[in-house]
Amino acid sequence: MNSLVSPAAADIDGMGHVNNSVYLRWVERAVHDHWRAMAQPSEFAAILWVAARHEVDYRRPALLGDQLNIDVRLDSVRRARAWYETIISRDGVTLVEAKSCWLSLDAETRTLIPIPRETATRILGANGTQ
- Check whether 129 has a pLDDT greater than 50: no
Residue 109: per-residue pLDDT: 97
What is the fold of 2-127? Thiol Ester Dehydrase; Chain A (3.10.129)
The pLDDT assigned to 48 comes to 94
Provide the whole-model pTM: 0.89
For 6-63, how does the pLDDT look when each residue is reduced to its tens digit (9 = 90+)? 999 999 999 999 999 999 999 999 999 999 999 999 999 999 999 999 999 999 999 9
Return the HEC string of 33-55: HHHHHHCCHHHHHHEEEEEEEEE
Strand partners of residue 78: 81
Do 129 and 73 meet the contact criterion of CB atoms below 8 Å apart? Answer: yes
- Indicate the residue type of 39: A
* pLDDT score for 71: 97
Residue spans per domain, the chain: 2-127
Q: Name beta bridge partners: 90.
A: 93
Which of 64-68, 81-85, 123-127 is the least confident region? 123-127
Count of other CB atoms within 10 angstroms of residue 104: 23
In the structure, what pLDDT confidence band is assigned to residue 124 with cuts at 50, 70 and 90? confident
CB 50 within 8 A of CB 100: no
Q: What is the pLDDT of residue 127?
A: 66
pLDDT value of residue 130:
42
Say if residues 31 and 73 touch (Cβ distance below 8 Å): no
More confident residue, 129 or 106: 106
